[in-house]
Structure 1
Amino acid sequence: MTPEHPEALRLYGILHTRAQRHAEAQTILQRALAQWPDYALAYSDLGNAQQAAGELDAAFASWRQACALAPKAAMPWFNLGRNLQQHGDTDAAIDALQQAHALAPDFLPALILLGDALVHAGRFDDADARYRAALTLHPACGDAWRGLANMKTRPLSETNREQLATALRRTDINPPDRIAMGFALGKVCEDQGHYEQAFAVLNAANAQLRALSTWQAGAFHTHVDAMLAASARLPTPTDATLGHEVIFIVGLPRSGSTLFEQILAAHPDVEGASELPDLEQVLSEESARRRQPLLQWIGAASADDWQRLGRRYLERTARWRRTKPRHTDKLPSNWLLGGVLAAMLPGARIVDARRDALEAGWSCYKQQFYRLPHFACTLTDIAAYIHDYERAMALWQAAAPQRIRIQRYEALLAEPECEIRALLAFCGLPFDPVCLDYHQATRSVRTASAAQVRQPLQRDTARAAHYGALLDPLRFGLGIPTIK
């Protein structure tokens, strides 16, 4: 195969995309398409390169062209559906994934992702059917069990518990499937009141997850120290209103952040965008341009640099403001960039979602997270992470209280209307009674709380007390009296 053969060019383009050389990747793939204009795979890979470069409209045009050129092939439809889902166009994603599933009924990834998209759209019965169809094809499909378990308002049955226990006794299961089934078994045991068994299986699942990539609490603590020191020296913004269109929601996972976003997204002026990667990607672009990691260039960036980066973020997220003037960005881990946001998007508001630390920490331990390493695989690491998060937010809020609001989950349960009014006022939004009926909103919700935020407030969500002294390592780390 010669270097200019279209297939060689396609593979070369893929390598450039993986190396983050996006312009070169696009040029190479266009050379392949100049020779083979009907090359559906090259269009699909061109879309991937365009997406990596932040050219989303062009990327979706390329992915759709791949489907048009190969309408009877499942993979272009799957690729289109996967990317539509990642970018929040859930209804269109469902259509594309249904097409992929129809063309390849036994292709598990399309079936699973279709179930996920249906969950995000609030079509829980349809999602349940897709996950169970996947289990018919592969009874030890961890992703199917994960999907069923993540519909948290729908308890799994005793039959499901027996199926999981039987499957976990097999010796031929891949580690990812075993881990996902362990978390699902933990949920069904808790739902049925078997708390010691729930703790044991969750402990085992977390140990297996941690073995894949170990979280280093000490290194993270040092990193937070460095971020705090660097963020204390950032320049005064040139335009203090830049970013007023954005409401960031940060905090611990499983602390009510999706609920607070759902309340805000019910407002006629706010689009709920869910967990966006754009802030991190803008900073990564700048790191690549400077050929330095963030902590090495953060202190050298001028006010004009930060304004440029803020505008880049607004450019990347403009699609979320096509019909409404404001949007939410609910990525919990963005708390670590709270200081950076003061220089980059000083007009943005930051809602810090807080829940009782013991309940939030235990809820994190029960949830499988896919971005590894993750702090939630041991109770002691969870406690250390909570301390780092709370001290960082305390410093940043003290420096600019008008930008950051601590929104407490328990306060919302106690006085819903009062807290919702205060939250809207903080965000500069007029009160609208529709926000009180947030659960009736029909938007796509792309987090593990998709089912929970489609029901009225539930006041019986506390679970930690059922586990007694088993949670003492978390209590000790949080400075809470232990039960022993």
Structure 2
Amino acid sequence: MPSRNAEQQPPSGSEPRIDGLSPAALQQLQAAARAIRDGAEAPARVALDTTLELAPEHPEALRLYAILHTRAQRQDEAQACLQQVLARWPDYALAWSDLGGVQQARGDMEAAFASWRQACALAPAAPMPWFNLGRNLQSHGDTDAAIEALQQAHALAADFLPALILLGDALVHAGRFDEADARYRAALALHPACGDAWRGLANMKTRPLSDADREQLGAALRQPGIAPADRIAMGFALGKVCEDQERYEEAFHALNRANAELREIRPWQASAFHAHAEALLAASRRLPPPIDTGLGREVIFIVGLPRSGSTLFEQILAAHPEVEGASELTELEQVLGEESARRRKPLLQWIDEAGADDWQRLGRRYLELTARWRRHKPRHTDKLPSNWLLAGVLGAMLPGAPVIDARRDALEAGWSCYKQQFYKLPHFACTLTDIAAYVRDYERIMGAWQAAAPQRIRIQRYEALLATPEDEIRALLAFCDLPFDPDCLDYHRASRNVRTASAAQVRQPLRRDTARAEHYGALLDPLRFGLGLPRAG
């Protein structure tokens, strides 16, 4: 869910405390709050210092100081301020909620969830603590608990759109599609131009939108004053409904407009990415051989282009009794980020300095951070498609981890990326030419790594799975050193939460009618040209 939802506030049951403040101190506190909201650190600091001169150690001023520190990435100072607040006001739910956010930023998730739950216990009739708890449970992969918390938030504030939307998302991830549909449509009843609700409905790929939906989308998009984020999301949804109804030219133009507007926010720089990818490939080839070649055997990485079957391959593996499907994890990025912060330089500036013992230390740190995914099963998947860039690094850091490269026909995969709204910007999928450039970099680099380390990297082709599913599933399991299990053939029956845009698709048996690019003819010629394919006939 886009982070903008979290900035909207529902009716609150726990207003900030202003006990003991004089009118002058209250005025300064309010000025500080406005400055923090506007991102003006210097004026906020002046106003808070003045407040604390007038009311020494006032907890609410200290709490706002903690927010200021948090936004400036000063987590130690933020935590110290909140501990002072809670020493004075131990029953202040908002401060406990803030403390959870600081503890999360420091990597202490157990303490963070304890703080968020304490906030709910102290203010059970306030929706925001429940929403914060549910949002973080959802991002942490605990979907069932997230649903409970978000249902509570919605019950306490029925018109709070972010709770409705995130509850819909969580229900999709749990495979409860009818309930999710109802939540998204309840959001649209409150706000017909709610882009997040339309995004949620469109992302249930196996459920076609209706004529009424198309008409409602068209009417909403014609309204003046629609927020850009809503307009973009509705544009992608309109593209989806038009494709469902075989209105292909209309679908293309709706998606073209949405992508153009999305790209204006922060353009992708294909040449800069190419240079970065080449530099990372070259540096990774110089890495030292690992000390422990089996380190990381507990993990199965799945990489590749988005929309190429990676969630399907994960679902197949997660149906195995020895494998937990963990979806798109950020711990690999976190470990490398921690090391970059420790060395005070980006990865490409320290990668040549790291020895085999450093990479082993980083691999063990990754296994420590992901241990929760192996509480019930000995192995887990890590399915973040963009990790293909780090395929060489993984060979030094977690050399025992098999890497599955999910491959799909490049034209189909590229077009599918163009139809999907991605929220992490800049993103390569906003123009057909950028998609082609990204595909070329990806296929060249992963092809080089697979040729160099075929025992560690397997190219798993989506079309081969469609053609001979049992043979491919047996080969996939064997590559991962897993015994064959018939449950993997019935992967769509696996009861697990799926936190990607393919959540609905992977709960169905294999379909062989998923190709769509041919319907668009010459409209996709820029993509064909970039991929080295002949123009449409």
Q: 1:163 aligns with which of 192, 216, 223?
A: 216
Q: Which runs of 5+ in 1 are unaligned?
A: none
Q: Displacement of 1:121 after TM fit? A: 0.3
Q: 1:56 aligns with which of 109, 114, 118?
A: 109
The range that moved more, 303-312 or 421-430, is 303-312
Matched, 1:181 2:225: no
Please give the per-residue CA displacement for 1:32-79, whole angstroms capped at 9, x wherever unaligned. 211111111111111111111221111100100010111111000000
Query: Structure 2 matches for 1:81-480, cutoff 5 A?
Result: 81-480=134-533
- The separation in 2 between residues aligned to 1:407 and 1:19, in whole angstroms, is 43
Please give the per-residue CA displacement for 1:146-173, whole angstroms capped at 9, x wherever unaligned. 0000000000000100000011001110
- The separation in 1 between residues aligned to 2:425 and 2:60, in whole angstroms, is 33
What is the SS of the residue equivalent to 1:443? coil
- The separation in 2 between residues aligned to 1:17 and 1:406, in whole angstroms, is 42
Q: What amino acid sits opposite 2:495 in the alignment?
A: T
Q: Displacement of 1:235 after TM fit? A: 1.2
Structure 2 equivalent of residue 69 of structure 1: 122
What is the SS of the residue equivalent to 2:424? coil
Structure 1 equivalent of residue 37 of structure 2: none
Structure 1 equivalent of residue 45 of structure 2: none
Structure 2 equivalent of residue 35 of structure 1: 88
Please give the per-residue CA displacement for 1:74-96, whole angstroms capped at 9, x wherever unaligned. 00000000000001111100000
Matched, 1:20 2:73: yes
- The separation in 2 between residues aligned to 1:120 and 1:14, in whole angstroms, is 32
- The separation in 1 between residues aligned to 2:500 and 2:225, in whole angstroms, is 30
Q: Displacement of 1:5 after TM fit? A: 2.2
Q: Displacement of 1:28 after TM fit? A: 2.5
Q: Displacement of 1:430 after TM fit? A: 0.4
Q: Displacement of 1:442 after TM fit? A: 1.0
What is the SS of the residue equivalent to 1:300? coil
Q: What amino acid sits opposite 1:406 in the alignment?
A: I
What is the SS of the residue equivalent to 1:254? coil
- The separation in 2 between residues aligned to 1:317 and 1:9, in whole angstroms, is 34
Q: What amino acid sits opposite 1:473 in the alignment?
A: P
Please give the per-residue CA displacement for 1:202-241, whole angstroms capped at 9, x wherever unaligned. 0000000001110000000000011011111111111111
Q: What amino acid sits opposite 1:70 in the alignment?
A: A
- The separation in 2 between residues aligned to 1:121 and 1:75, in whole angstroms, is 23
- The separation in 2 between residues aligned to 1:31 and 1:337, in whole angstroms, is 42
Q: Displacement of 1:272 after TM fit? A: 0.3
The range that moved more, 402-411 or 228-237, is 228-237
Q: What amino acid sits opposite 2:486 in the alignment?
A: P
Q: What amino acid sits opposite 1:412 in the alignment?
A: L
Q: What amino acid sits opposite 1:468 in the alignment?
A: G
- Quick check: which has more Rg, 1 or 2? 2
TM-score (norm 2): 0.89
Structure 2 equivalent of residue 482 of structure 1: 535
What is the SS of the residue equivalent to 2:509? coil
Structure 1 equivalent of residue 36 of structure 2: none
Q: Displacement of 1:391 after TM fit? A: 1.1
- The separation in 2 between residues aligned to 1:466 and 1:75, in whole angstroms, is 46
- The separation in 1 between residues aligned to 2:485 and 2:333, in whole angstroms, is 32
- The separation in 2 between residues aligned to 1:286 and 1:28, in whole angstroms, is 27
Percent sequence identity is 81
Q: What amino acid sits opposite 2:234 in the alignment?
A: M
Q: What amino acid sits opposite 2:419 in the alignment?
A: K
Q: Displacement of 1:352 after TM fit? A: 0.3
Q: Displacement of 1:261 after TM fit? A: 0.3
Q: Displacement of 1:31 after TM fit? A: 1.7
- The separation in 2 between residues aligned to 1:430 and 1:10, in whole angstroms, is 54
What is the SS of the residue equivalent to 1:407? strand
Q: How many residues align?
A: 484
The range that moved more, 39-48 or 266-275, is 39-48
Q: Displacement of 1:23 after TM fit? A: 3.2
Please give the per-residue CA displacement for 1:338-363, whole angstroms capped at 9, x wherever unaligned. 11111111111110000000000000
Q: What amino acid sits opposite 1:370 in the alignment?
A: Y
The range that moved more, 134-143 or 54-63, is 54-63
- The separation in 1 between residues aligned to 2:452 and 2:67, in whole angstroms, is 45
What is the SS of the residue equivalent to 1:249? strand
Does 1 or 2 have the higher relative contact order (CA < 8 Å, sep 6+)?
Answer: 1
The range that moved more, 235-244 or 87-96, is 235-244
What is the SS of the residue equivalent to 1:482? coil
Q: What amino acid sits opposite 1:44 in the alignment?
A: S
Call closer, same or farther: CA 1:405–1:369 in 2, change over 3 Å: same
- The separation in 2 between residues aligned to 1:25 and 1:411, in whole angstroms, is 53
Q: Displacement of 1:312 after TM fit? A: 0.9
Q: What amino acid sits opposite 2:436 in the alignment?
A: A
